[in-house]
Each structure stands twice: as C-alpha cells, then as structure tokens.
Amino acid sequence: MTDDHWKHGDALPHASAAQAPLQVPMKRPRSDHGDVPGGLEYVGYHPHEEGRVGCHVIRDTKSIDAAYERYLRNRQIVLYGGGESVRPVAGGMGGRPVDDMHMMGVGVMDGQSVGYGSGRSEMPLPPDASSTLYVEGLPANCTRREVSHIFRPFAGFREIRLVNKDSRFPGGDPFVLCFVDFSNPSQAAAALDALQGYKFDMLDQDSANLRLQFARFPGPRSAGRPRGSY
C-alpha cells in the first residue's frame, strides 16, 4: 500500500534525506540492525536494493540453520547411538575396547566422564549381548537409588534390581549384584562400554570399580516387551 513510494527507489539515502524528510515513516526499520523478528521481512523489503544486506542476512540464516541441523543430528547420534536403528548384528570382534572410549574423549566435561552412548556405533554387538546387564563390584552398602543414578541417563534404561549375595567360600564378604534392564541389547552394550571400570568411589581408586557383563538369562522382565505391558 503506502510502501510503494520507497519500494520504487526514491528511498535512496541521498534522495530521501534531501527532499522528503517528512514522509519518512517513523516505523521504518533501519536495515542495518533488525528489530524485526525473523529476517524474512528483509528479503521482501528490498529485493533489488544492493542485494548486499539481504544476501548477508540470508547467508547468515542459512549457516545458522545448517549448524543447528548438524547440532541436532549430532545430538541424535549421541543420545540414540546404538539405539533402535541398530547396525547389522554380526558378531565380529566381541572384545570391549574400553580404551577407545577415552580416546574418543566423549563428554569428559568435569571428571566424571560418562560417554552416553559413545562413538561405538560401528562396533557390532557381541553375540552374547542381551538387554540386561549384570553388574558387580558394587560396594555392599550401596543403595538402589544410588545405582539408579548411574544408569538412568543412558538411552533405553528401563529398570534396575539389586541382589545381595553371600560369598561362596567361608570368610568371604557378602557382595551386591545388580541387574539393569534396557530396551534393547544395543543400548545395554552402550552402557556396558561406557561404565566398564567405572569408579564407583571416586576417591577409593582400588576397591570400587564396576565390572559389567551381559546377563546370562535376561529373563521375563527384560524380554524386550513394550513398555506399557505390566
């Protein structure tokens, strides 16, 4: 409507300043720093102007978009790595290169490096993988809540069960076993690798580090049934 007059080009800096100071609308946004939400407006404003401003804005937006997309993709990989979209489960090297995790430097933000999922996406699952982890090396006095805190952040975490056992031979200390259910074996594997050797006691370097395996008998509880079926 009234935008016409400066859409046609008499809004050029020198012209408008010289002859029509009055008709410059107050609401007219300066194009060098936008208060307009979402740069789309600019593109509509001066399709022909110098192209400079518009182009600049567009390019910026694009690169931001791209970066954000990449960010999202990364997130997905990290969070769901080895998740539902599993690689071909062809048991190859069944080893557990714990050191890889440290080399990957996954999330070593503040000491307690827990690489949620880690970059192990290419590693095939070991043939004995199950969705339940068998965990030992827990201190005898640890609580269920405490252990849950360690496992809960991992993708696919479902449930945790603590079991107290007595030592086999006389004189041995009682110990605590733990079974952790995940939604699928791949997610269990991710947690296994990430927490293998985890220092339960950050201070006591020797005695309390976790040893994780896949449970021998995953059992009915973790049979991979849908989450809602009680």
Partner DNA sequence: AGCACA
Site for DNA in 207-226 (CB under 7 A): 213-222
Establish if 167 lies at the interface with DNA (CB under 7 A): yes
Q: Which is nearer to DNA, 7 or 161 (CB)?
A: 161
Q: Among 175, 208, 209, 224, indicate the residue that binds DNA (CB under 7 A).
A: 175
Task: Output the CA angle 200-190-199, nearest 5 degrees.
Answer: 10
Find the part of the chain contacting DNA (CB under 7 A) among 21-29, 102-110, 166-174, 195-203. Answer: 166-174
User: Least distance in Å: CB of 97 to DNA?
Assistant: 20
Q: Which is nearer to DNA, 95 or 220 (CB)?
A: 220
Question: Around 27, how many Cα atoms within 13 Å sit in the side-chain half-sphere?
Answer: 3
Q: Among 14, 168, 227, 228, indicate the residue that binds DNA (CB under 7 A).
A: 168
Establish if 136 lies at the interface with DNA (CB under 7 A): yes
Q: Which is nearer to DNA, 46 or 161 (CB)?
A: 161
CA 39 – CA 222 distance, rounded (Å): 51
Site for DNA in 114-133 (CB under 7 A): 132
Contact 83, 155 (CB under 8 A): yes
Find the part of the chain contacting DNA (CB under 7 A) among 22-30, 92-100, 117-125, 159-167. Answer: 159-167
CA 1 – CA 54 distance, rounded (Å): 22
Establish if 172 lies at the interface with DNA (CB under 7 A): yes
Q: Among 26, 37, 38, 169, indicate the residue that binds DNA (CB under 7 A).
A: 169
Establish if 84 lies at the interface with DNA (CB under 7 A): no
Find the part of the chain contacting DNA (CB under 7 A) among 3-11, 144-152, 172-180, 186-194. Answer: 172-180
Q: Where on the chain is the footprint of DNA (CB under 7 A)?
A: 132, 134, 136, 161, 163, 165, 167-169, 172-173, 175, 177, 179, 213-222
